[in-house]
Structure 1
Amino acid sequence: MTVGRIVVYVFAAALAGVTIGLLKIWPQPETTSQEQARVPVPAATISVRTVPPPSSSAPPSSSAPAPQPALVAQTAPRPGPELPPGVAVREEGEGWWRTIAGTTAQFGGGTVHTYSVEVEQGAVLPSAHEPFAATVDSALADPRGWTATGGVAFRRVDVAEPDVRIRLTATQTARATCGFELPYDTSCYIDGVIYVSAPRWFRGAESFGSDLEGYRRYLINHEMGHFLGHGHEFCPAEGAPAPVMMQQTFSVSNDELARVTARTPQGLTVPRDGRTCTANPWPHPEVTR
Structure 2
Amino acid sequence: MGKRQAERAPDRRRRRLTRLLPAGLALTAVMLASGAAVAHWQDDRDAARRAAEFENHVDGPSDGGATSSPSTSRSPSPSSSPSSKPKKPKKSSTPSASPSHSSGTGTIPVPATGPGTFTTAQADGTVVGTGSRVRRYKVMVEDGIDVSAKSAATYIASVLGDRRGWTRDGVDSFKLVSSGSYDFVVKIATPGTVDRICGAAGLDTHGELDCSVGTDVVVNLKRWVLGSPQFPGPITEYRALIINHEVGHRIGHGHEGCPGPGKPAPAMMQQIKGLHGCVANAWPYDKYGHYISGPPV
Partners in 2 of 1:195 and 1:43 — Cα distance? 44
| Contact 1:83–1:200 (8 Å) recurs in 2 | no
Over the residues paired in the alignment, what is the CA RMSD in angstroms?
2.5
**Is 2:123 the partner of 1:105?**
no
Which structure would you say has the larger Rg? 2
Partner of 1:153: 173
Equivalents in 1 of 2:234, 2:245: separation in Å?
16
Which residue of structure 2 lines up, in the alignment, with residue 116 of structure 1? 138
State the alpha-carbon separation in 2 of the partners of residues 212 and 104 from structure 1.
Answer: 28
Q: Structure 2 vs 1, CA of residues 185 and 209 (structure 1 numbering), >3 Å: closer, same or farther?
A: same
The residue number in structure 1 matching 2:236 is: 213
Aligned equivalents of 1:152, 1:106: Cα separation in 2: 11
8 A Cα contact 1:185 1:199, kept in partner: yes
Partner SS state of residue 214, structure 1: helix
Aligned residues: 189
- Residue from 219, 228, 231 that aligns with 1:196: 219
Structure 1 distance, partners of 2:163, 2:179, is 26
Paired AA for residue 248 in structure 1 = Q
Q: Which amino acid aligns with 1:176?
A: R
1:44 CA drift (Å): 10
Is 1:92–1:173's contact at 8 Å kept on the other side of the alignment?
Answer: yes
Query: 3-state DSSP class of the match of 1:161?
Result: coil
Kindly state the Cα deviation for residue 172 of structure 1 after the two structures are TM-superposed: 0.5
Partner of 1:84: 100
The answer (yes or no) to whether the contact 1:135–1:216 under 8 Å persists in 2 is: no
**What residue number does 1:251 align with?**
274
TM-score, with length taken from structure 1: 0.60
CA separation in 2, counterparts of 1:202 and 1:191?
24
Identity across the alignment (%): 33
User: Which residue does 2:247 correspond to in 1?
Assistant: 224
* Aligned CA distance change for structure 1 residues 134 and 182 (closer, same or farther; 3 Å): closer
Q: Does 1:94 align with 2:110?
A: no
1:143 aligns with 2:189: no
Secondary structure of the equivalent of 1:189?
A: strand
1:42 aligns with: 60
- Structure 2 unpaired stretches of 5+: 1-58, 66-97, 290-297
Report the Cα offset of residue 105 of structure 1: 2.0
- Ranges in structure 1 where 5+ consecutive residues have no aligned partner: 1-40, 48-81, 254-275
TM-score computed with the length of structure 2 as normaliser: 0.58
Q: Note if contact 2:189-2:219 (Cα within 8 Å) is conserved in structure 1.
A: yes
Q: 1:102 to 1:182 in 2, by over 3 A?
A: closer
Change beyond 3 A, Cα 1:112–1:211? same
Q: CA deviation at 1:42?
A: 3.2
Other-structure match for 1:25: none
For 1:173-229, what per-residue CA distance to the aligned partner results, in whole angstroms no more than 9, with x for missing partners?
A: 112333464646011110101111000000001222242110000100100011111
Partner letter of residue 123 of structure 2? G
Answer yes or no: is the 8 Å Cα contact 1:120–1:168 preserved in 2. Answer: yes
Question: Structure 1, residues 150-178: CA drift from partner, whole Å, max 9, x if none?
Answer: 11111111122211110111111112333
Contact 1:84 1:205 in 2 (8 A): yes
Q: What do residues 94-151 of structure 1 show as CA deviations (whole Å, max 9, x unaligned)? A: 11212011234222223011001111112x125x433211211111011111111111
Shift of 1:246: 0.1
CA separation of 1:44/1:213 partners in 2, compared to 1, >3 Å: closer, same or farther? farther
Per-residue CA deviation, residues 224-266 of structure 1 (Å, 9 max, x unaligned), is 011111111110011111000000122212xxxxxxxxxxxxx
User: Paired residue for 2:45?
Assistant: none
Pairing 1:19-98 to 2, within 5 Å after superposition: 42-43=60-61, 84=100, 86-87=106-107, 88-98=109-119
